[in-house]
Structure 1
Amino acid sequence: MSAIQLLSKAGQVVDELARSGPSTPAELAKAVNEPRPTVYRIGQTLEELELVRNVGGRLELGVGLLRWADAAIEAFIDRAELHKQLCWVREQVGMNVYFCVPGVDGPLCLHQVAGAVVEMVDLGPGRTLPRSVGAVGRAFDAGSDESYFLDDGDVVDGIAAVAVPVRCDGDVVGVVAVADLRAGLLPRADAVATVLTTAAAALAAAMSQPREGRETTPDVVETDSRTTSLIHKGGVLMEVLVSERIATSGRLTELTGEPPSSVYRMLATLTEIGWVEQVFARGPYRVGGKVLTLAAELIRSSDIRRAAGPVLAAIHAATGETTFLCVRHGTRAVCIERIDGVRVNSRVLRLGRSLPLHVGAAPRALLAFDDREAWDEYASAAVRSDELGGDVGSRAELFAQLEEIRQAGIVVSDNTVTPGIAAIGAPIFDHYGRVVASLSVSGLRDGILARSRDGGPSVRDLVRRGARDLTHYLGGDVG
């Protein structure tokens, strides 16, 4: 087997992980019909590229795919603005919202925000929709006088959709759409279309902005193995394309330093496995839509509780204190994982129990690192609720405390929940920069607040490091 064929085999390994989930090298070797040593080396190289990660001896999809998927989106529109607009539509209508662009084989779903009741898997990122069929397909064929399109089960049985074209200089460059169960959507079609029209105008403005790449120099990792060297070179080419967003083969040759013939062969293979696509015949290249599907599968399969287990255990082993993992549920922080301390245990936040978001280290981390709108909503809820309002204080006092926590990057709770007990908490962020969980450690205040423990890292350092590791696991920015 040639080296270029092994690059294709690396694509098969990633596809198999997306299909089957975490797998051992032996299981992958059987699935892709390759010797175990070869698959082991391929896995090591993919791990270095962060396309896969090794968790307990099993390989699974890695966060590098999220970075590549960002570039696939950024070739068309600013990712943050797109996510913001789709979230706004979701808040207004409570249904599945998705955005499509012209793809090689039909409308390509670039991004989706799931609805409140059901999630439309068939409309997820990376999916290609039928041409000229359904609301989205017809919207791409729209004339200038048509404002929105409606379908009733044309693409997915039992699912209705409303779609609005996004136009730049008179051309349809994208479509923003809502889909949901027909009984819920059809009676509200006109109102949904009004919301989508507002979002379409904002998306059109964003797509009119020039798309510029980032100035980065990819790291080339030298290796003695010709097999893994070529996979690394393919990874470097992908990273250059990620940085450029859209690039010609000549530009990729210039930036990678590889011979033109090698770049052409790699591009052909990467196109074949779906990681790259050519914008048009003899045209430039961009990250392929398949990467969006792989990234969506990574996000879907990520399990923060499972990932947090070893992190909490390591902190517990180093400190002997009680460790917690919490997530937000409404106005409260719920403990979803906990390891009891060896000396003292707080009985306030048991597994499955909750505290108001303004009480204690882990809850405050969830609130403080949310956006200011969430602060306002919580403060308003506290005024209306006897359960929350007792010790929140004034809105100004609460916001000042939350701002101080944001500046510090960590929460210190000293005697605020249980006399003699202190706790330190830190936020965990996802790929979109949203705080989705918090990690904390509690115990007797002298031990928790000490600057170091027997010459080792302090509890503060351990909590920061643990939260950082879990943020990285979710694809968040660890700067």
Structure 2
Amino acid sequence: MSAEKTLEILEQFDFESRTLSVPELAAKLQQPQSSVYRHMRVLKEKGYIIEYSPGLYSLGYIFLKLAKIVKMDIDLPVVSQEAMRELTRSTGETSILLVPSNLQAVCLAAVPSGHPIKVSSEQGNIVPIYGGASSKALLAYMGDQVVEELYLSGTVKKHTDQTILDLGDMLHHLEEIRQKGYSFSDSEIDYGVISYGMPIFDSDNKLVASLSVAGPKERMEKKEMNEIVHTIKIAVKKIENQL
């Protein structure tokens, strides 16, 4: 079929073969050069292929537009669902997906364990962005100016004895999170809850969300920290690969 052959031509372009000539395409596809050239002419007219240099072709800019449309239609909770379920199965604890929103955070999704805990980060809840591993994994990558604006706004308040109320202390703490690549919280918003979190970035390296694991202190203290962090990292990569 003509359409199938046209798609086969487009599929030959990848990161290693960003530019190709008609003879190269014909050899890859085991098709006559005359046939490949006919399909290339149509693709070029429609903007799917551009002549990068005389005799060499590359994918056209129309793919940037199509990629943008796909990204706009990505449903983050749906994309994250499988990775979150696996994270909860692996750790035995609740996994939480948070997004930033106007100096606060919103819980987009949560996958409870077989023994769920009562935490502020339940699906649909608006939670403070200055406390808890999920929130701090976001705040650490939002810039010092945002952090300063948050603390000057007067919205930071004490939830427990572990809530970080001083701006200087928070800035230092967030720098440590960036160096380690993950956040940790022990009873900062919810008493008796320990959590670990990591940021999620899209293909443009833009912060989009955070993923965390939370559980009761008595149970979390018995688990190996490095294993939990590694498991979260795997889940984050699975999600980022789809963004």
TM-score category (smaller protein): 0.7 to 0.9
**SS of match in other structure, 2:15:** helix
Q: What displacement does 1:319 show?
A: 3.1
TM-score normalized with structure 2 length: 0.80
State the match for 1:276 in structure 2: 49
- What is the number of equivalent residue pairs in this alignment? 235
Q: Tell me if the contact between 1:234 and 1:266 (Cα under 8 Å) persists in the aligned partners.
A: no
Q: What displacement does 1:407 show?
A: 1.3
**SS of match in other structure, 1:308:** helix
What code does the residue aligned with 1:380 have?
Answer: E
Match of 2:11 among 235, 259, 271: 235
Taking a change above 3 Å as real, the CA distance of residues 248 and 351 of structure 1, as seen in their structure-2 partners, is: closer
State the match for 1:19 in structure 2: none
Match of 2:71 among 286, 292, 299: 299
Distance across 2 between alignment mates of 1:271 and 1:469 = 38
Taking a change above 3 Å as real, the CA distance of residues 412 and 266 of structure 1, as seen in their structure-2 partners, is: farther
**SS of match in other structure, 1:355:** strand
Q: Tell me if the contact between 1:428 and 1:437 (Cα under 8 Å) persists in the aligned partners.
A: yes
Describe the superposition over 1:192-221 as per-residue Cα deviations: whole angstroms up to 9, x where unpaired.
Answer: xxxxxxxxxxxxxxxxxxxxxxxxxxxxxx
State the match for 1:444 in structure 2: 216
Determine whether 1:381 maps to 2:150.
Answer: yes
What code does the residue aligned with 1:275 have?
Answer: Y
Distance across 2 between alignment mates of 1:398 and 1:298 = 37
Match of 1:351 among 105, 108, 123: 123
Distance across 2 between alignment mates of 1:402 and 1:264 = 60
Distance across 1 between alignment mates of 2:232 and 2:41 = 42
Distance across 1 between alignment mates of 2:167 and 2:95 = 30
What RMSD in Å do the two structures reach over aligned CA positions? 3.2
Q: Which structure would you say has the larger RCO, counting Cα contacts within 8 Å and 6 or more residues apart? A: 2
Distance across 1 between alignment mates of 2:13 and 2:36 = 8
Distance across 1 between alignment mates of 2:36 and 2:179 = 46
Taking a change above 3 Å as real, the CA distance of residues 401 and 329 of structure 1, as seen in their structure-2 partners, is: same
Ranges in structure 2 where 5+ consecutive residues have no aligned partner: none
Extract structure 1 runs of 4+ deviating beyond 4 A.
Answer: 255-268, 389-392
TM alignment of 1:26-175, pairs within 5 A: none
What code does the residue aligned with 1:278 have?
Answer: E
**SS of match in other structure, 2:11:** helix
What code does the residue aligned with 1:276 have?
Answer: I
Taking a change above 3 Å as real, the CA distance of residues 350 and 6 of structure 1, as seen in their structure-2 partners, is: closer
Distance across 1 between alignment mates of 2:26 and 2:177 = 43
Q: Tell me if the contact between 1:382 and 1:389 (Cα under 8 Å) persists in the aligned partners.
A: no
What code does the residue aligned with 1:399 have?
Answer: L
Distance across 2 between alignment mates of 1:256 and 1:406 = 49
State the match for 2:139 in structure 1: 367
Determine whether 1:6 maps to 2:22.
Answer: no
Distance across 2 between alignment mates of 1:5 and 1:384 = 58
State the match for 1:464 in structure 2: 233
Q: What displacement does 1:334 show?
A: 0.7
**SS of match in other structure, 1:380:** helix
Q: What displacement does 1:267 show?
A: 6.1
**SS of match in other structure, 2:79:** helix
Describe the superposition over 1:175-208 as per-residue Cα deviations: whole angstroms up to 9, x where unpaired.
Answer: xxxxxxxxxxxxxxxxxxxxxxxxxxxxxxxxxx
Distance across 1 between alignment mates of 2:62 and 2:26 = 23
Distance across 2 between alignment mates of 1:294 and 1:350 = 34
Taking a change above 3 Å as real, the CA distance of residues 237 and 351 of structure 1, as seen in their structure-2 partners, is: closer
Ranges in structure 1 where 5+ consecutive residues have no aligned partner: 11-230, 475-479
Q: Tell me if the contact between 2:13 and 2:20 (Cα under 8 Å) persists in the aligned partners.
A: no
Q: Tell me if the contact between 1:249 and 1:263 (Cα under 8 Å) persists in the aligned partners.
A: no
Q: What displacement does 1:420 show?
A: 2.5
Match of 1:329 among 101, 105, 113: 101
